[in-house]
């Protein structure tokens, strides 16, 4: 279906490129990657800059105590912000190759973050299938918990904390792991193979266990996928979708980070970033 979305916030309010939306404490938190900031937007469109940063952020999560955990994408380091102090937590340069990708934080305050693994800014460079997911503990200790991935991107963790699903952007699939008590990942399996030409980016989980997938390329900008690969919803937008999150008062608003381009040079010259919303029937996972 072609969706009539509501524009919640957009480029004429200073946004450069929105990513990693997270519904928390009655508002949507997100990264403005090329704006080098963490921001929030409320349902009435009130936009607030929470933290300006001296680097391009990627990988973002919010711990149960409200601490923000996120990465310096190109320097491949993890930081924490408790509302007062920006603290360097982990240096992942020995564990990763080129640039940090999306991430997620679990109930224990551990961050899982992907490594893009190759210089995707250069069109001549081809994706590699040797990327990893790194687990970062609250104390900053870090280890590789999954490898042989192809551009790991958006991630979700099931409400029981027992499984992690990651979008393999350049492999056209969602891949699942069991999460052990120590946070390590085991028993890798394909959660869903996606249609040819789909490049899954940001993802979110709903209360029925289905996953909404942002697809920056191809006809369908957003897909709702059940385990096994059945697609229940296909959404076409007027622009490209890069990340999604469920939230709102009843958890049934789908927030979509959109942009006409992810090319840094094009963004610097003419940002088209937006966050749009779409009402859906099934709410967010608990």
pLDDT at 228 over 80: yes
Asked if residue 90 belongs to a domain, the reply is yes
User: Does residue 284 lie within any of the structural domains?
Assistant: no
The token pair at 216 is 């920056």
On whether residue 209 sits in a domain, the answer given is yes
Give the bridge partners for 32, in sequence order. Answer: 18, 37
Share of the chain above pLDDT 90, in %: 90
Q: pLDDT tens-digit profile of 3-49?
A: 678 999 999 999 999 999 999 999 999 999 999 999 999 999 999 99
Count of the separate structural domains present in the chain: 1
Does the residue 164 lie in any domain? yes
- Model confidence at 217, pLDDT cuts 50, 70, 90, reads confident
Q: Is residue 181 in some structural domain?
A: yes
Residue 286, domain member (yes or no): no
Per-residue pLDDT tens over the stretch 132-160: 999 999 999 999 999 999 999 999 999 99
Answer yes or no: is 285 within a domain: no
- Is this model's pTM higher than 0.75 or not? yes
Q: How confident is the model at residue 1 (pLDDT cuts 50, 70, 90)?
A: low
CATH code (residue 136): 2.120.10.30
Query: What share of the chain in percent tops pLDDT 70?
Result: 99
Q: Do the beta carbons of residue 53 and residue 15 sit within 8 Å?
A: no
pLDDT for the residue 124: 86
Per the domain annotation, does 104 fall within a domain? yes
Domain housing 68: 6-279
Token duo for residue 3 = 């969706």
* Torsion (CA) 274, 242, 237, 166 in degrees, nearest 10: -140
């Amino acid at each position: 279906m072609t969706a009539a979305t509501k524009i919640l916030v957009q480029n004429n309010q200073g946004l450069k490129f929105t990513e990693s939306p997270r519904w928390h404490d009655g508002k949507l938190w997100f990264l403005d990657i090329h704006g080098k900031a963490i921001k929030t937007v409320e349902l009435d469109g009130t936009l607030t800059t929470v933290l300006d940063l001296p680097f391009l952020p990627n990988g973002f999560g919010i711990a149960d105590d409200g601490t923000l955990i996120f990465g310096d994408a190109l320097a491949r380091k993890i930081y924490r912000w408790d509302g007062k102090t920006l603290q360097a937590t982990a240096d992942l340069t020995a564990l990763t190759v080129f640039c940090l990708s999306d991430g997620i934080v679990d109930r224990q305050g551990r961050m899982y973050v992907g490594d893009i693994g190759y210089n995707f800014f250069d069109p001549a460079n081809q994706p590699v299938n040797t990327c990893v997911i790194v687990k970062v503990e609250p104390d900053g200790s870090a280890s590789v918990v999954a490898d042989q991935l192809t551009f790991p991107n958006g991630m979700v963790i099931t409400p029981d904390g027992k499984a992690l699903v990651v979008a393999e952007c350049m492999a056209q699939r969602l891949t699942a792991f069991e999460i052990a008590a120590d946070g390590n990942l085991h028993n890798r399996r394909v959660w869903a193979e996606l249609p040819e030409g789909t490049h899954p980016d940001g993802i979110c989980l709903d209360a029925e266990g289905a996953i909404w997938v942002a697809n920056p390329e191809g006809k369908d900008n957003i897909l709702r996928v059940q385990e096994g690969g059945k697609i229940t919803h296909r959404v076409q937008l007027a622009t490209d979708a890069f990340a999604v999150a469920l939230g709102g008062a009843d958890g049934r608003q789908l927030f979509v980070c959109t942009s006409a381009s992810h090319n840094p040079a094009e963004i610097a010259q003419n940002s088209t970033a937006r966050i749009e919303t779409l009402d859906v029937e099934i709410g967010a996972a608990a």
